[in-house]
Chain A
């Protein structure tokens, strides 16, 4: 019985670590800020929750506290990534434009959608993978 719990806990820990690793890979591979934050927000939440669950299997007496920590993460993690995104855009674009935030967001997107911008990024990525 105990070894089964240990095995489940170990599997969950490995799965959580794998998702966190994929998140890191996403941060590196994604072409722009928005997509990078997307990669970060999703994988860190599930990865951390899986690691907490794995710990709960290994130490059942901590289960309740780990559940509370998981709940807290579930509420704050997406919020923090959203705040980070808005603040980054304010820091990058606000000094040059005095418009409301949402116009800045759209402006930023237009900048990304310009073909040259994306192509430059793509060729840089290709170089990185080929050499």
Chain B
């Protein structure tokens, strides 16, 4: 493994992080005045140098039309699940008998990229009755309010598969 091949993707990640931070700064300020732009560049540069291994929104994003389409579909699916999760939780909380059967389930993911896994973990946290606790390589430990099955393949199909199909296209 030569150092050159290791350096290249790292520099690209840093450039992406810097660009994303600067874009956010400009969008939040709403101006392109010289003084605010200079402050933005300085702060973004400092953050990029300090947190070079950090993730940003577009790190490892595949800039293909399919990825953008999958991204839009992903957000539609995500909000549907989020609203469903809230209504289910409301039903559990409001019912006097508190119908829960908590437990920890181990599921497997096919995603390889860091950002893809982060998005998957976040999505699982916000879907009905599941909460990501720990990621260990390709294994994700998920806490469920109502455990439906402890079988790895079945649980994977129930919890992970919906999001994974979109994220696989987006981040791989």
Which A residues have a C-beta under 8 Å from some C-beta of B? 19, 22-23, 25-26, 29-32, 34-35, 37-39, 41-43, 45-46, 64-65, 68, 74-75, 78-79, 81-82, 85-86, 101-102, 105-106, 109, 112-113, 125, 129
Does the CB pair A86–B82 fall under 8 Å? no
> Quick one: which of B27, B86, B122 contacts A78, CB cutoff 8 A?
B122
> Which residues in chain B, 136-165, are within 8 Å of chain A measured between CB atoms?
136, 141, 143, 145
**Considering the chains assembled together, what is the distance between the CA atoms of A86 and B134 in angstroms?**
8
Does the CB pair A102–B136 fall under 8 Å? yes
Query: Total interface residues on B, using CB and 8 Å?
Result: 34
* Given A31-B98, A79-B122, A102-B134, also A38-B145 (CB < 8 A): yes
Chain A residue at minimum C-beta to C-beta distance from B92: A26
Chain B residue at minimum C-beta to C-beta distance from A67: B27
A selection of 23 A-B contacts at a CB cut-off of 8 Å is: A19-B90, A23-B89, A26-B89, A30-B98, A35-B145, A38-B129, A39-B93, A41-B126, A43-B89, A46-B83, A64-B27, A65-B27, A65-B28, A75-B122, A78-B126, A78-B132, A79-B121, A86-B134, A102-B134, A106-B104, A109-B103, A109-B104, A112-B102
Does the CB pair B122–A39 fall under 8 Å? no
Chain B hits for A45, CB < 8 A: 82, 126
Chain B hits for A34, CB < 8 A: 102, 131, 143
Question: Interface residues of A: mostly helix, strand, loop or mixed?
Answer: helix
Check B94 for interface membership: any CB of A closer than 8 A.
yes
In the assembled complex, the CB of A1 is this many whole angstroms from the nearest CB of chain B, namely 25
Does the CB pair B134–A41 fall under 8 Å? no
Does the CB pair B82–A105 fall under 8 Å? no
**Considering the chains assembled together, what is the distance between the CA atoms of A68 and B23 in angstroms?**
11
Chain A hits for B131, CB < 8 A: 34, 37-38, 41, 81-82, 85
Does the CB pair A42–B85 fall under 8 Å? yes
Chain A hits for B136, CB < 8 A: 102
